[in-house]
Structure 1
């Protein structure tokens, strides 16, 4: 693994820590609503539709719209504008996380998580791959499947590429749940304001992104000599 690949992996793990933190933070502090995905939200939307709970449906559809909007932005913005989407994503997350700590506990939990629906979807689309593997930093189901499947494949054929794959997915799971544990433990004494601790891995991610940029700049300079 070269230096660039190492930085890329560290960045992936740092953002996995962020994803785990935000997932657990939303569940604990906002009425067990998972702000990093839409599966639960869509199922509850069907329940509300069948029950005629129109107010709840509108709130959930707004969350779905923000999630979709972030996906669209990740695809279209780089095609229309010269934009560093990875840098923009992390900076936007820093702003959102800083703001979330000021949202009152009495606020409607779905509305309080609207920014989370957007930034988690944006992070998912912007940082969804590492070393050629599709590996989410905001939820775990596919990562768990890939981890177990890779271990089984390595057990069967002893191919090192399967072990390498298992390590990447296993590391992602580890950092994701370390982030979740941090959110759980910090929410006990700090409550809503515990979200500000997530600024730490985001700042680390920003530093790793800058380190990667400088490395590429140095390599480009050396190549031109």
Structure 2
């Protein structure tokens, strides 16, 4: 019997996508006026703070990326339901994400609001399209849920001596480490390329797109 695991749930792809998630957050925060691409909780908080101070213009800079993020999730679901596309729907999602970020690279700083909204839109596509690694619910664009699950599995290992829990704990925390590495890489490229740095993140996503053609998760049982 042949068992084929989804390439979209492989550890290698998850690591690459987590690094791209960290890259996007570093880019939007450092280059595009301190707005988060992925951390919508932070954007919602800053929206509320600016709203309470009557800074309505600045509040738009935080709430529009949140709306764009939600629209990105919706687009990923639309792509998912399409039956007549040549590519696997997750491949289509990551390709669209990469193309959006290429466009963002050429937006001048005076268009930060649009650039941040499109980056968050791309992140919404990613968070909805890639929700599992090896069957475990893992986010590649944020860390808090991964931290909760990883810590829970660490506790289960020390409490029950379950080696499978230890493996899962390292998986969750490993994805967090990849997110941090993506932020570090992003900061380095930002210093060199400024607003064009997001092209490097787009290249990572194009590599992820190519990687998904390779079914090296296939196992013979």
TM-score normalised by structure 1 residue count: 0.84
Structure 2 gap segments, 5+ residues each: none
- 2:143 corresponds to 1:168: no
Which residue number corresponds to residue 35 of structure 2? 33
- 2:118 corresponds to 1:115: yes
Higher helix share: 1
Output the CA distance in 1 between the equivalents of 2:19 and 2:178.
Answer: 5
Query: Are the counterparts in 2 of residues 33 and 109 from structure 1 also a CA contact under 8 Å?
Result: no
Output the CA distance in 1 between the equivalents of 2:62 and 2:192.
Answer: 30
Output the CA distance in 2 between the equivalents of 1:163 and 1:47.
Answer: 40
Query: Are the counterparts in 2 of residues 33 and 110 from structure 1 also a CA contact under 8 Å?
Result: no
CA RMSD across the alignment: 2.5
- 2:197 corresponds to 1:194: yes
- 2:66 corresponds to 1:88: no
Query: Are the counterparts in 2 of residues 10 and 208 from structure 1 also a CA contact under 8 Å?
Result: no
Output the CA distance in 2 between the equivalents of 1:151 and 1:113.
Answer: 36
Which residue number corresponds to residue 142 of structure 2? 139
1:209, CA displacement in angstroms? 0.7
- In terms of Rg, which structure is larger? 1
For residues 47-102 of structure 1, the C-alpha deviation after alignment (integer angstroms, 9 at most, x for no partner) is 23323333334444432322221222233443354443211111112212212221
Compared CA separation, residues 58 and 179, structure 1 to 2 (3 A): closer
Structure 1 gap segments, 5+ residues each: none
Number of matched pairs = 215
